[in-house]
Amino acid sequence: MYYIVTGAAGFIGSNLVKALNERGENNIIAVDNFKKADKFKNLVDCEIADYLDKEDFLKKLQEGFFDGLVTAVLHQGACSDTMETDGRYMMENNYRYTLELLNYCQSEEIPFLYASSASVYGGGGVFKESREYESPLNVYAFSKFLFDQIVRRRWQKRSAQIVGLRYFNVYGAREQHKGRMASVAYHFFNQYRAEGKVKLFEGCDGYANGGQLRDFVSIEDVVKVNMYFLDNPNKSGIFNLGTGQAQSFNDVAVATINTLRTAENKPALSLAELHQQGILSYIPFPDALKGKYQSFTQADISALRSSGYSEAFLTVEQGTARYVEQMLKTAE
């Protein structure tokens, strides 16, 4: 029997493959698209049974090749570039492909865990898994939103576990291939090491410079929640996956810089001190992001807690420090 992980060489997918390995599971079919070839590095320390291109995998699935051979599908594959303007591609890749997998898993009675997104909430201030709070701002968010709607329509007739996880701002190991879409912690780390300083966006939507608030969640916690649902196939639903506590971009920058300063045997500094010394500064907010930017996100995790998940989440200070220390160990 096999676990199938799509987007397996991507950020979240590769971390899930590694987590399965740590549980002694090596019968994993890794599905991805190696158009960005450097993603292979995320799987170098992982054990898998086979790799399949996303199109080859879908064809085999439709032909019945995997019938009776699958324990669960963890679907993380998607175009995650929120600035992508090709709506046709986005809907085919994120919506239609996911629908094919859902149909298969339901027909074969296979648990299906998939990546949704906090972007479905758009610019609203309430982040609760309910239709009235959902209003996507771009086609990426719409692709995720529409699939969640299909799941809801089919809810009463489901034949096996379906779990949609609305990821908030995930950061952590194995995201280096994402380029501009990598987390701010990753970018701050590289900025500081290259220039000795970090640049943040100026304020917008009434927030102070660097004061926009996001629910930053560590990949370590994301993996734990996925494993929790794998261990509890009787639990289904669409769940927010964040910490439940918004923190500012300034908080991420301060945590990143001070962890690096500690490694350099330098004292930690406050936000005001970092700004005063020119180590932290602000640049104009990009016109291209105006009207398409979430200045505030904070997951309502009451549904997740009600499902029985009780683990504490890492704060920005805890998670960022751990992440920076990991990056330092592998930095050239």
**Sign of the C-alpha dihedral, residues 302, 98, 115, 292?**
negative
Tell how far CA 42 is from the center of its chain: 15
Q: What are phi and psi of 47, to 5 degrees?
A: -110, 125
Centroid of chain to Cα 37: 20
State residue 289's pLDDT score.
78
pLDDT at 216: 98
Look up residue 183 and give its two tokens. Answer: 């987390």
pLDDT of 124 reads 83
Question: What number of residues does the chain have?
Answer: 332
Nearest to 238 by CA among 132, 136, 165: 165
Predicted confidence at residue 284, as pLDDT, reads 93
pLDDT one digit per residue (tens) for the chain, 332 residues: 999 999 999 999 999 999 999 999 999 999 999 887 888 999 999 999 999 999 999 999 999 999 999 999 999 987 766 666 677 877 887 889 999 999 999 999 999 999 999 999 987 889 999 999 999 988 899 999 999 999 999 999 999 999 999 999 999 999 998 888 899 999 999 999 999 999 999 988 889 999 999 999 999 999 999 999 999 999 999 999 999 999 999 999 999 999 999 999 999 999 999 999 999 999 998 887 777 677 899 999 999 999 999 999 999 999 999 999 999 998 86
Looking at residue 164, its pLDDT comes to: 98
Q: Give pLDDT, residue 81.
A: 67
Count of beta carbons in the 10 Å neighbourhood of residue 307: 18
Q: What is the pLDDT of residue 294?
A: 78
pLDDT of residue 97: 92
| Partners of residue 247 on adjacent β-strands | 214
Gyration radius (Cα) of the chain, Å: 20
Place of tokens 């102070």: 208
Asked if 72 and 231 count as a contact pair (C-beta separation under 8 A), the reply is no
Classify 202 in phi/psi space as left (phi over 0), alpha (psi -120 to 50) or beta: beta
Nearest to 303 by CA among 116, 107, 102: 116
The secondary structure of residue 208, as a DSSP letter, is P
Quote the pLDDT of residue 85: 67
Query: CA torsion angle for 45, 49, 55, 58 (degrees, to 10)?
Result: -130
Question: How close are the terminal C-alpha atoms of the chain, in Å?
Answer: 39
H helices of the chain, where? 11-22, 54-62, 87-90, 97-108, 139-153, 184-195, 219-231, 249-263, 271-276, 302-306, 316-330
Which residues neighbour 153 within 8 Å (Cβ) at sequence distance 6 or greater? none
Q: Fill in the DSSP letter of residue 281.
A: E
Enter the DSSP assignment of 165: E
Question: 3 in helix, strand or coil?
Answer: strand
CA dist 276 → 224, 236, 271, 279, 282 (Å): 39, 50, 9, 8, 12
Active site residues: 140, 178
Dist CA 10 CA 52 (whole Å)? 14
Close Cβ partners of 103 (under 8 Å, ≥ 6 residues apart): none
